[in-house]
Amino acid sequence: MATEHGTGEVPDLATLVTAAQEGDRHAFDEIVRRTYVDTYTLAVRLTASEEDARDVVQEAYLRAWKGLRKFRGDAQFSTWMYRITANSAATLTSKRRRQRTVQIDDVADPIETEVALHPELATENVELMNELSAALDELPPRLRTVVILKDVYGLSHEAIAEELGISVTAAKVRLHRGRKRMRDLLYEEAGSHADAV
Amino acid sequence: MPTQCDEIALVLPQAVDAAEPVALPMRRHIESCLRCQAELARYRRMLRGLQMLRTQYFEPTPGLLAQTLASITAASERRAVTSTLTKRRIAYAGAVAGAVAAAGTTTAAVLLARARRRTLPV
């Protein structure tokens, strides 16, 4: 890492991960800098709370630092990080479930960076994403978590089941129910409005 | 809605991304049924939208990065202290065990020598 810092080259994530696995703390700090917005976004979506998301992010990176040697590189680092984040969020959510109810209204609106960078992404898509975000917030946490991990972040059923401590069948059932509930939230309401008119 | 449309509506949530195979008769029905095609299109639109959510980011609250890095530093220091203490404890336990073994050996040798002296003929 020292040579790369010295020459001013910007190492890619894989190089940083390798260096961090060898104990380079500066490399790990750089990994955190590059990925924490993504991790925070997933944490906010899973917990529906900015306060909880902060705790999840810190816990996730602590776990990542302690378990970095176990990362074999057969998956992308970001996927590995998503799994740790999902696991941390599940742990925190189960701890706090009895303590208080979730305040989804406290969460700030997301920033559509891709839309800003790519104007070809039409307004229609932004509207759809807003509708979907609202529908996701309506889902029970158990269903929301699986829909987010599978349909937004592309994790496999096996990975989801492992991180949430459930069977693969249970993960598939939750996804099925979550998608059905999402469909009802998105289209039944629209249909009933149309019927009323 | 006909019975077959109801049955298809039940499998569409898992069939939409081709994760689960759809039986041939059902596929044929979808191809010829506008209602089922519309339903499938709704699910596809929903899935496409969910995938696009990856392009949205929530702006982290101020200080999150600094706090995260600080918590890793604190955990690393705690681990280093624990590791040092563990090493010292192992070294101390090893020294004590060595001393006990040496004392035992010496005692055994002395007792053996005394016993030999007693048994030797005068």
Residue range B87-110: average pLDDT? 81
Using a CB-CB cut-off of 8 Å, the residues of chain B touching A114 are: 52, 55-56
Given a contact cutoff of 8 angstroms between Cβ atoms, the answer to whether B4 and B29 are in contact is yes
Closest chain A residue to B20, measured at CA: A172
Q: Is the pTM of this model over 0.90?
A: no
Rounded to whole angstroms, the Cα distance separating A38 from A53 reads: 12
pLDDT in tens, A150-162: 999 999 999 999 9
Are residue A8 and residue A101 in the same domain, yes or no?
A: yes
- Per the structure, the complete domain to which residue A128 belongs is given by 109-197
Are residue A139 and residue A57 in the same domain, yes or no?
A: no
Are residue A14 and residue A102 in the same domain, yes or no?
A: yes
Are residue A49 and residue A131 in the same domain, yes or no?
A: no
Sole residue written with tokens 């101020």 = B62
Element (H, E) at B78: helix B64-119
Nearest CB neighbour to A113, from listed B55, B64, B72: B55
Domain containing A9 — which CATH number?
A: 1.10.1740.10
Q: Which of A45, A77, A108 is where one domain is finished?
A: A108
Are residue A13 and residue A78 in the same domain, yes or no?
A: yes
Using a CB-CB cut-off of 8 Å, the residues of chain B touching A33 are: 65
Q: Which of A88, A108, A128 is where one domain is finished?
A: A108
Residues 6+ apart with CB under 8 A from A46: A53, A56, A85, A86, A89, A93, A144, A145, A148
ipTM of the prediction: 0.78
Given a contact cutoff of 8 angstroms between Cβ atoms, the answer to whether A19 and A1 are in contact is yes
Residues 6+ apart with CB under 8 A from B44: B16
Query: A111 and B56 in contact by Cβ < 8 A?
Result: yes
**Comparing C-alpha atoms, which of B53, B51, B12, B6 is closest to residue A183?**
B12
Nearest CB neighbour to A151, from listed B45, B47, B71: B47
Structural domains of chain A, count: 2
Domain extents in chain B: 3-54
Are residue A102 and residue A6 in the same domain, yes or no?
A: yes
Rounded to whole angstroms, the Cα distance separating B80 from B87 reads: 10
pLDDT tier at A5 (50, 70, 90 boundaries)? very low
Residues 6+ apart with CB under 8 A from A28: A16, A20, A65, A68, B72
Q: Among residues of chain B, what percentage have pLDDT more than 90?
A: 32
Using a CB-CB cut-off of 8 Å, the residues of chain A touching B47 are: 151, 179
- Mutation target for B interface from A39, A176, A181: give the one with most B CBs within 10 A: A176
pLDDT at residue A114, as a whole number: 56
Looking at chain A, the number of H-run helices and the number of E-run strands are 11, 1
Q: Which stretch, A66-75, A147-156, B89-98, has highest mean pLDDT?
A: A147-156
Using a CB-CB cut-off of 8 Å, the residues of chain A touching B56 are: 41, 110-114, 129, 133
Tell me the two tokens of residue A1. Answer: 């890492």
pLDDT tier at B104 (50, 70, 90 boundaries)? confident
Are residue A142 and residue A183 in the same domain, yes or no?
A: yes
Given a contact cutoff of 8 angstroms between Cβ atoms, the answer to whether A49 and A103 are in contact is yes
**Phi/psi of residue A48, each to 5°?**
55, 30
Min CA distance, B73 vs chain A (Å)? 9
pLDDT in tens, A87-112: 999 998 887 765 655 454 556 666 65
Are residue A104 and residue A34 in the same domain, yes or no?
A: yes
Are residue A82 and residue A177 in the same domain, yes or no?
A: no
Residue range B23-29: average pLDDT? 87
Query: A151 and B51 in contact by Cβ < 8 A?
Result: yes
Residues 6+ apart with CB under 8 A from A121: A112, A114, A115, B52, B55
Q: Among residues of chain B, what percentage have pLDDT more than 70?
A: 86
pLDDT at residue A6, as a whole number: 47
Rounded to whole angstroms, the Cα distance separating A13 from A19 reads: 10
Rounded to whole angstroms, the Cα distance separating A80 from A158 reads: 13
Are residue A141 and residue A166 in the same domain, yes or no?
A: yes
Residue range A4-8: average pLDDT? 52
Burial code (b: 16+ CB inside 10 Å, e: under 16) for A59-74 equals: bbbbbbbeebeebeee
Instruction: Give B 23-42 residues with CB within 8 A of chain A.
Output: 42
Q: Which of A76, A108, A140 is where one domain is finished?
A: A108
Rounded to whole angstroms, the Cα distance separating A115 from A61 reads: 29
**Phi/psi of residue A112, each to 5°?**
-90, 85
Min CA distance, B49 vs chain A (Å)? 6
Quick check: A194 pLDDT over 70?
Answer: no
Rounded to whole angstroms, the Cα distance separating A142 from A148 reads: 10
Are residue A90 and residue A150 in the same domain, yes or no?
A: no
Query: A38 and B53 in contact by Cβ < 8 A?
Result: no
Given a contact cutoff of 8 angstroms between Cβ atoms, the answer to whether B12 and B40 are in contact is yes
Given a contact cutoff of 8 angstroms between Cβ atoms, the answer to whether A113 and A68 are in contact is no
